[in-house]
Chains A and B, each alone.
Chain A
Amino acid sequence: MKRWKLFLPLAFFLILCVLLYKGLFLENKTELPSALLNNPLPTFQLTTLGNPEQTVTREDVTGEVFLLNVWGSWCPTCRAEHPYLLGLQEQGVRIIGLNYKDDRTEAQQWLRHGGDPYQFNIFDPQGKLGLDLGVYGSPETFLVDKAGVIRYKHVGVVDNRVWQETLKPRYDALQKEAAP
């Protein structure tokens, strides 16, 4: 038997160590890849949060790059990211809200108190559009391009680190893409 073969079990063991370490500590298990990545935003027909009479569809939101932020006044984590979203809006970032499984009055109240970073809000009390988007917890933030295709999804709070490291580079790149 050649000498190098003696080291095979050691090599196997080390590879296994690396895989286990990765599986245990490095992978973010709460974050699932979106099944809708690079797929068009689902069609919908809902009302805006501000006006129960005003219908809003997919065509009303698409055309420009935007962030679709899934939130609810019942969700504490959404409140945590709220001030940062206000800051982004001041920088001119286009954010459209998806008010997910919420009460209209409570949601409106929260925006009046905490400020409103959204261009407008899609009101989805039954979570119908949320289901079509594969939302499984809020906040979730989708990055949609000019053609209305979902290009990225972030699960959890959007803070400075997330924005600077993951969302902003993608947002800026999409802005430079030609409109369809």
Chain B
Amino acid sequence: MTVSCQAPRWLTHCLLAVLTMFLLTTARATVIDSYEFASPEQEAQFFRLNGELRCPQCQNQSIGDSNAPIAQDLRREVHRMIVQEQADDATIVQFMLDRYGDFVLYKPRMNTTTAVLWLGPLVLLLLGLLVLWRLVRSHRSQTSGLDEQERAALKKILDDK
């Protein structure tokens, strides 16, 4: 009896947890203002760019996530360029780059200043592999490092037994 009474309570907790998760996701989505688009493609483009562009003021949020005035301005500008100018992604990204620099992109372009960012981890990985390879090699040469004389001496010891 007690078991059948407790099962629904456990279920309610579970349901509540799931409901809270839904609440969290809607709270996140309300940051976006209401914009109108001519086509679903334009809308998809808008949300894609909102996620790719970084808010210059808040630094750790995309312009889609942030409520900072500058993020609102940039969203409005992205919307205007999409709807009025039918601009493609590259044009809009270049527009932002011209004004706010590489910082505005979450995925920085490859150039001389960002090369360290892109290639640094690869260089470190190769360095690590090199060190590992050398360690293994030196270890192996140490274990079989007996010359003629030593081998003869060893054989003698073993034969004597």
Residue of B at shortest CB range from A101? B69
B:89-116 near A, CB below 8 Å: 97-101, 103
The reply to whether B73 and A134 contact each other, CB–CB distance below 8 Å, is no
With A127-B73, A131-B77 as known contacts, state yes or no: A34 contacts B57, CB within 8 Å.
Answer: no
A-B contact count (CB 8 A): 36
Residue A32 is within 8 A (CB to CB) of chain B in the complex: yes
Number of interface residues of A (CB under 8 A): 17
Minimum CB–CB distance from A103 to chain B (whole Å) comes to 15
The reply to whether B101 and A34 contact each other, CB–CB distance below 8 Å, is yes
A132 contacts across to B, CB distance below 8 A: 99
Q: Is the interface of A mostly helix, strand, loop or mixed?
A: loop
Minimum CB–CB distance from A98 to chain B (whole Å) comes to 15
Q: Within the assembled complex, what's the spacing in Å between the Cα atoms of A29 and B101?
A: 15
Q: Within the assembled complex, what's the spacing in Å between the Cα atoms of A179 and B133?
A: 63
Residue of B at shortest CB range from A36? B99
With A1-B138, A29-B59, A136-B57 as known contacts, state yes or no: A35 contacts B70, CB within 8 Å.
Answer: no
Residue of B at shortest CB range from A1? B138
A35 contacts across to B, CB distance below 8 A: 97-101
B57 contacts across to A, CB distance below 8 A: 136-137
Q: Interface residue tally of chain B, by bracket? A: 10 to 19
Q: Within the assembled complex, what's the spacing in Å between the Cα atoms of A16 and B70?
A: 35
A:65-96 near B, CB below 8 Å: none
Residue of A at shortest CB range from B99? A134
Residue of B at shortest CB range from A132? B99
Complex partner residue of A136 from B56, B98, B138, CB under 8 angstroms: B56
The reply to whether A134 and B70 contact each other, CB–CB distance below 8 Å, is no
The reply to whether B70 and A33 contact each other, CB–CB distance below 8 Å, is no
Complex partner residue of A32 from B77, B97, B101, B138, CB under 8 angstroms: B101
Residue A133 is within 8 A (CB to CB) of chain B in the complex: yes
Residues in B lying within 8 Å of A, measured CB to CB: 56-57, 59, 69-70, 73-74, 77, 97-101, 103, 138
Q: Which 7 A-B pairs have the closest CB atoms?
A: A35-B101, A136-B56, A134-B99, A136-B70, A136-B57, A134-B100, A32-B103
A-B contact pairs, 22 of them (CB 8 A): A29-B59, A32-B56, A32-B100, A32-B101, A32-B103, A33-B103, A35-B98, A35-B99, A35-B100, A35-B101, A36-B98, A101-B69, A131-B77, A131-B99, A132-B99, A133-B99, A134-B56, A134-B100, A135-B70, A136-B56, A136-B100, A137-B70
Extra inter-chain contacts (15) besides given A35-B101, A131-B99, A134-B100, CB under 8 Å = A32-B56, A32-B101, A33-B103, A34-B101, A35-B97, A35-B98, A35-B99, A36-B98, A101-B69, A127-B73, A131-B73, A134-B101, A136-B56, A137-B57, A137-B70
